[in-house]
Amino acid sequence: MNDIHTSYEEKMKKSIAALKDDFNTLRTGRASASLFEKIRVECYGELSPLNQVASISIPEARLVVIQPWDKSLLPNIEKAILKSELSLNPSNDGKIIRIAIPPLTEDRRKELAKQAKNIAEQSRIAIRNIRRDGIEEAKKLQKEGSLSEDDLKTAEEKFQKATDAHISEINTILAEKEKEILDD
């Protein structure tokens, strides 16, 4: 029974990790290399992650500098950034790309906070679905006779405790992200 709980616990942890990754790509008023994690650049006929074709540095709080390994990729990198959902304007000097991160407007902050809430809600739903699947599997084992009624109750309680803990963690992560977005 413990291995079932452990495998579903792992799935819950992966949902939390996915939430953190999604939050890293939400733009706040500060420069961050993680903003560019989902950007793919046309490189030698393939789409490659930006961080595999260039170095990304943050020399100042509101400035990102992108230096490609191959200078011929500058126009492709610039195009990929312009096509992204980040609403940033890169400036290309022929050697590197500089991106000034403008301060967020109040409306944009509210929009980002709302987006963060939606992402967090999707994670909560994923956690609840994992709990439901785990309980269904435990009930199936109980019907097959390899799990007693008491073990089933214990399993349901374990799944509920894990769900409550992970949803609480999601709420904490969301509160931190909202603070970061709204207080910048």
Distance of CA 4 to the CA centre of its chain: 26
Q: What is the pLDDT, as a whole number, of residue 136?
A: 93
* Domain stops at, among 83, 100, 117: 100
- Same domain membership, residue 127 and residue 59: no
Q: What percent of the chain has pLDDT over 90?
A: 38
* Domain stops at, among 100, 127, 147: 100
- Same domain membership, residue 86 and residue 40: yes
Q: pLDDT digit string (tens) for 58-100?
A: 888 788 999 999 888 899 999 998 888 777 889 888 889 998 8
What pTM was estimated for this model as a whole? 0.71
- Same domain membership, residue 71 and residue 138: no
As a whole number of angstroms, the distance between CA 129 and CA 135 comes to 10
- Same domain membership, residue 167 and residue 130: yes
Q: pLDDT digit string (tens) for 9-64?
A: 899 999 999 998 888 877 676 777 778 888 899 988 899 898 889 999 888 878 89
Q: What is the pLDDT, as a whole number, of residue 62?
A: 82
**128 pLDDT tier (thresholds 50, 70, 90):** very high
CATH number for position 9: 1.10.132.20
Over residues 113-135, mean pLDDT: 94
**117 pLDDT tier (thresholds 50, 70, 90):** very high
Q: Name 127's Cβ contacts closer than 8 Å, sequence gap at least 6.
A: 12, 15, 163, 166, 167, 170
The residues that bridge with 68 in the sheet, in sequence order, are: 54
Residue 28 · residue 43 · CB < 8 Å: no
- Same domain membership, residue 40 and residue 131: no
Average pLDDT, the chain: 88
* Domain stops at, among 77, 100, 123: 100
Domain span at residue 178?
1-26+105-183
Q: How many domains does the chain have?
A: 2
Q: With a cut of 70, say whether residue 109 has pLDDT above it.
A: yes
- Same domain membership, residue 165 and residue 122: yes
Q: With a cut of 80, say whether residue 177 has pLDDT above it.
A: yes
